[in-house]
Amino acid sequence: MVIKMYYLDHVEIKKLTKDLIPRSRENPVDERLRGWNWFNSPVRPYSSSLLLPVWDVACSICPTRRDAWIRNKILKKSVPTTKQQAKGFIIHKLISSMFIKAKKLVYLGEKNLKEKLIEESKKALKNEIENMKKFVEIREDELLDFCEKIIEWQASRIESSVYETTAKYPFLNEESLVQMAFPIATEMVVDGSLLGLSRYLRMDAASIFSGIIFDIKLGKKEEWHRIQVAGYALAFESFFERPIDIGCTVYVNYYRGNIRIERDFYIIGDYLRSLFLEKRDELQMILLKDEEPRVADRCPKICMFKNKYCL
């Protein structure tokens, strides 16, 4: 399948249709934990005036949540806490911007889709890395190599998706071609303010018809990755009043010089929803109290705020 980042393979389709989806129906989400119940506890936010990014709520690098406090009160920017997150930010932007660029090129009737996409994406990548270097020291050569591989790989798949669609439906106009070749909504924006979340929540991708939200991550699996997707699902439900029962975290990694993609599918059930809501309330309370969280007794080594903000 093309645009492999989000398209499912044969085994994944079987697992979804024969296992995950039936299980999510047999054991439905507690209505009280659906996003459309935003005006009642426990979904109702502690505060509607302090709006938080889903990422900031879910990611727990600092034991006292001081990292979120630094971001929200001092830096007032979504600055990553670890180098891994910094790389993840860049790869996130890179992948989603490629879909946007590709759609624009299809509308413009560009024939050399792959070439043009690679050229534009490589330029944009350099700017992204330069921007990130203002906050984080990153090994540029290694990251550049990895990202360029993603660009080439992704561009080939996008181009073949467009070619396949055109070969099958040669009379499509640009609008229909974009819809058929890119059936997943990428960079979907949802207003999360009903839940005390940002007004411009950007999800990496969502398949609205099958009720799946996708999120791209780098590195190994961590529990907060699923909690983050639960946050997006709640926000989606509060805004569109449609259920989202399945989440998928797409892990993009480098393995022996090649791109490795793994997808983790799961039910966004009561447990993940409750964890997200607890974390949201806890963070809102910390930030509204206006009391600086103390420096943690044992800081994870990967936290980059140590020498600057937590002496």
Closer by beta carbon to ligand SF4, 62 or else 194: 62
Nearer to ligand SF4, 183 or 300 (CB): 300
Distance CA 157, CA 163 (A): 10
62 belongs to the binding site for ligand SF4 (CB under 6 A): yes
Among 22-30, 35-43, 59-67, 147-155, which window interacts with ligand SF4 (CB under 6 A)?
59-67
Count of residues of this chain found to bind ligand SF4 when the rule CB under 6 A is applied? 12
In whole angstroms, the minimum distance from the beta carbon of 303 to ligand SF4 comes to 3
Q: Is residue 83 within the footprint of ligand SF4 (CB under 6 A)?
A: no
Contact 53, 197 (CB under 8 A): yes
Q: How far is the CB of 250 from ligand SF4 (least distance, A)?
A: 27
* 20 part of the interface to ligand SF4, by CB under 6 A: no
Nearest Cα to Cα of residue 229 among 210, 242, 246, 243: 246
Asked whether 247 and 226 are in contact (CB, 8 A), the reply is yes
| Tokens (6 digits) for 96 | 């989603």
Q: Residue 30 gets which letter from DSSP?
A: P
- Nearest-approach distance from CB 72 to ligand SF4, in angstroms: 12
| Residue span 288-307 as binding mask against ligand SF4, x where in contact by CB under 6 A, dash where not | -------xx--xx--x-xx-
CA dist 103 and 107 (Å) reads: 6
Q: Smaller CB distance to ligand SF4: residue 26 or 297?
A: 297
Binder to ligand SF4 among 34, 43, 67, 231 (CB under 6 A)? 67
Contacts of 173 (CB under 8 A, 6+ apart): none
Which of 304, 278, 292, 293 is CA-nearest to residue 33? 278
Minimal distance, residue 90 CB to ligand SF4, in Å? 21
Q: 215: helix, coil or strand?
A: strand
- Closest CB 212 distance from ligand SF4, rounded Å: 33
All residues at 6 or more sequence positions from 294 whose CB lies less than 8 Å from its CB, including other chains: 64, 66
Q: Which residue type does 266 have?
A: Y
3-state secondary structure of 49: coil
Query: Cβ of residue 249: shortest distance to ligand SF4, in angstroms?
Result: 23
Closest to ligand SF4 by CB, 236 or 305: 305
Which residues of this chain interact with ligand SF4, rule CB under 6 A? 62, 64, 66-67, 295-296, 299-300, 303, 305-306, 310
